[in-house]
């Protein structure tokens, strides 16, 4: 390596722009998030997951007739082939739910005649299929992993409402359906985070949409990514009672243990999604039982963390911090948190892939070689 200057290393690709996109704007300084130009606050307040999926895929809010047609298409695609139900049944009792989701989505390609058709029309159709069926798969994993019977989707229900129905076998309250729908809107898209980037890296070889989103699912599984909300909830449960919060947090900070759900690669201020969920937690803190307890602990921990680290170090609550208590309230078990995130992010993954394929380019960065050079092979007898 003598005489060779080392190139600049961009570890984690932090700060590197790899593409243009008109899907999502994350303003990490001001703490703002826009899907296709619409603020997450307005979408959370007025829209729902089906409409947001349309918006992400098409770039525009649908007209009334477009929305009716889109909902009809989405709802018609909820059914799962029997073989896929069989795979979920077989795998979900023994495997990580994200492995089951990955297996089921990969296997699903076999039942789509257009799986390997690469036209924009076919890719839009496949996006609708994937968004719709991902909801059914996740609901089925939740149900079948505890040995219960598969529940067929009900096309009269909204997307989130149907997922709760398929999970529990009974129609959810309108409040639970609305809350899950809101959570799915908040998780639907977030520019080129690790799983979306992985989806694009896969699709950029002109691999198909099933393979691309499979890559996204595999990436979302990581505890640094999709797994964070599950671990944040575990922390709230470990704290046990609101009055323990201060001692727990201070001990964690003193021992430099990571407090889950705080800090973000992009947001250097309050995550706007966390701000929306925080309002729900204020309501939940007035309820009873475990949810009340968790909400109160979360709100106390948030206040303490902001005092200790927020303004001084730019470490603020992120979306993962508050989601756990809401999911507990809706009746979603922690093992399903990341699959829920995947089902919610499916429109984002698909929208990015549709966009990237318009001007696709292979993604192939470099590694800087630090190993030995020019070693001579030594025959086995002389080793």
Q: Which of residues 128-187 bind a second copy (CB under 8 A)?
A: none
Q: How far is the CB of 82 from a second copy (least distance, A)?
A: 11
CA pair distance 47, 159, nearest whole angstrom: 13
The nearer residue to a second copy, 289 or 374, going by C-beta atoms, is 374
Q: How far is the CB of 340 from a second copy (least distance, A)?
A: 17
Collapsing DSSP states into helix, strand and coil, what is residue 51? helix
Of 33, 87, 138, 353, the one binding a second copy by CB under 8 A: 87
User: Which one of 69-77, 92-100, 139-147, 164-172 is the stretch in contact with a second copy (CB under 8 A)?
Assistant: 92-100
Which residues, including other chains, have CB under 8 Å from residue 102's CB and lie 6 or more apart?
214, 217, 218, 221
Binding pattern for the stretch 65-84 against a second copy, x by CB under 8 A and - elsewhere: --x---------------x-
Token pair 């009792």 in the structure block, residue:
93
Size of the site for a second copy (CB under 8 A): 109
Name the nearest CA neighbour of 336 among 127, 78, 144.
144
The nearer residue to a second copy, 219 or 296, going by C-beta atoms, is 219
Q: How far is the CB of 203 from a second copy (least distance, A)?
A: 8
- Chain positions 247 to 276 lying near a second copy, rule: CB under 8 A, are 265-266
Residues 319/353, Cβ–Cβ less than 8 Å: no
Token pair 């947090």 in the structure block, residue:
249
Question: Is 229 noted as a catalytic residue in this protein?
Answer: no
Question: Is 320 noted as a catalytic residue in this protein?
Answer: yes
Name the nearest CA neighbour of 129 among 65, 74, 170.
74
- Token digits for 1? 């390596």
34 membership: H or E segment, kind and range? strand 32-35
Which residues, including other chains, have CB under 8 Å from residue 193's CB and lie 6 or more apart?
225
User: Which one of 124-132, 229-237, 318-326, 365-373 is the stretch in contact with a second copy (CB under 8 A)?
Assistant: 365-373
Q: What is the DSSP letter of 170?
A: S
User: Which one of 160-168, 272-280, 297-305, 375-383 is the stretch in contact with a second copy (CB under 8 A)?
Assistant: 375-383
The number of residues making up the chain comes to 383
- Residue 138: alpha-carbon gap to chain centroid: 12
- Chain positions 215 to 244 lying near a second copy, rule: CB under 8 A, are 215, 217-227
Of 198, 245, 285, 296, the one binding a second copy by CB under 8 A: 198
Query: Which entry of 58, 96, 99, 225 is annotated as an active-site residue?
Result: 225
Question: Is 154 noted as a catalytic residue in this protein?
Answer: no
- Chain positions 1 to 30 lying near a second copy, rule: CB under 8 A, are 7-25
Q: What number of other Cβ atoms are within 10 A of residue 241's Cβ?
A: 10
- Chain positions 342 to 361 lying near a second copy, rule: CB under 8 A, are 361
Collapsing DSSP states into helix, strand and coil, what is residue 265? coil
Q: How far is the CB of 361 from a second copy (least distance, A)?
A: 4
Of 58, 73, 79, 95, the one binding a second copy by CB under 8 A: 95
Region of residue 169 (left: phi > 0; alpha: psi -120 to 50; beta: else): left
Q: How far is the CB of 141 from a second copy (least distance, A)?
A: 12
Rg (CA), the chain: 22
The nearer residue to a second copy, 179 or 217, going by C-beta atoms, is 217
User: Which one of 104-112, 273-281, 296-304, 316-324 is the stretch in contact with a second copy (CB under 8 A)?
Assistant: 104-112
- Chain positions 279 to 338 lying near a second copy, rule: CB under 8 A, are none
Position 121 contacts a second copy (CB under 8 A): no
- Residue 349: alpha-carbon gap to chain centroid: 10
Of 29, 116, 169, 243, the one binding a second copy by CB under 8 A: 116
Residues 153/162, Cβ–Cβ less than 8 Å: yes
Concatenated DSSP letters for 328-356?
A: HHHT--GGGHHHHHHHHHHHHHHHHHHHH
CA pair distance 209, 199, nearest whole angstrom: 9
User: Which one of 195-203, 237-245, 252-260, 320-328 is the stretch in contact with a second copy (CB under 8 A)?
Assistant: 195-203
Q: How far is the CB of 145 from a second copy (least distance, A)?
A: 12
Give me the phi and psi of 190, to 5 degrees please: -160, 55
Query: Which entry of 264, 271, 329, 352 is annotated as an active-site residue?
Result: 264
Q: How many CA atoms lie within 13 A of 139 on its CB side?
A: 29
The nearer residue to a second copy, 63 or 149, going by C-beta atoms, is 63
Catalytic site residues?
225, 264, 320
């Amino acid at each position: 390596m003598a005489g060779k200057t080392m190139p600049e290393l961009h570890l984690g690709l932090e700060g590197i722009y790899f593409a243009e996109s008109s899907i999502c704007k994350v303003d990490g300084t001001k703490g703002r998030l826009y899907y296709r130009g619409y603020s997450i606050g307005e979408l959370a307040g007025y829209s729902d997951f089906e409409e947001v999926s349309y918006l992400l895929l098409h770039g525009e809010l649908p007209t009334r007739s477009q929305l009716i047609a889109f909902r009809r298409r989405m709802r018609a695609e909820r059914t799962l082939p029997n073989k896929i139900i069989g795979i979920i049944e077989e795998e979900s009792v023994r495997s990580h739910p994200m492995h089951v989701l990955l297996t089921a989505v990969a296997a699903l390609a076999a039942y789509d005649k257009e799986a390997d058709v690469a036209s924009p029309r076919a890719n839009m159709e496949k996006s609708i299929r994937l968004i719709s069926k991902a909801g059914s798969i996740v609901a089925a994993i939740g149900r079948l992993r505890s040995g219960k019977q598969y529940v067929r989707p009900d096309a009269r229900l909204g997307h989130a409402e149907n997922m709760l129905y398929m999970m529990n076998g009974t129609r959810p309250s309108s409040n639970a359906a609305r809350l899950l729908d809101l959570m799915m809107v908040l998780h639907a898209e977030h520019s080129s985070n690790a799983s979306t980037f992985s989806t694009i890296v896969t699709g950029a070889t002109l691999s198909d949409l099933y393979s691309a989103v499979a890559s996204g699912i595999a990436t979302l599984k990581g505890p640094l990514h999709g797994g964070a909300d599950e671990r944040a909830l575990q922390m709230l449960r470990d704290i046990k009672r609101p009055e323990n919060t201060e001692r727990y947090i201070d001990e964690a900070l003193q021992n430099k243990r990571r407090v889950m759900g705080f800090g973000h690669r992009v947001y250097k201020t309050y995550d706007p999604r966390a701000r929306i969920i925080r309002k729900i937690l204020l309501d939940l803190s007035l309820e009873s039982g475990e949810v009340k307890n968790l909400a109160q602990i979360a709100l106390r921990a948030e206040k303490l963390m902001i005092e200790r680290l927020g303004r001084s170090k730019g470490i603020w609550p992120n979306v993962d911090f508050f989601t756990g208590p809401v999911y507990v309230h809706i009746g979603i078990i922690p093992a399903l948190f990341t699959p829920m995130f995947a089902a919610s992010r499916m429109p984002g993954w698909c929208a990015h892939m549709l966009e990237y394929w318009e001007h696709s380019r292979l993604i192939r960065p470099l590694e800087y070689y630090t190993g030995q050079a020019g070693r001579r092979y030594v025959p086995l007898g002389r080793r």
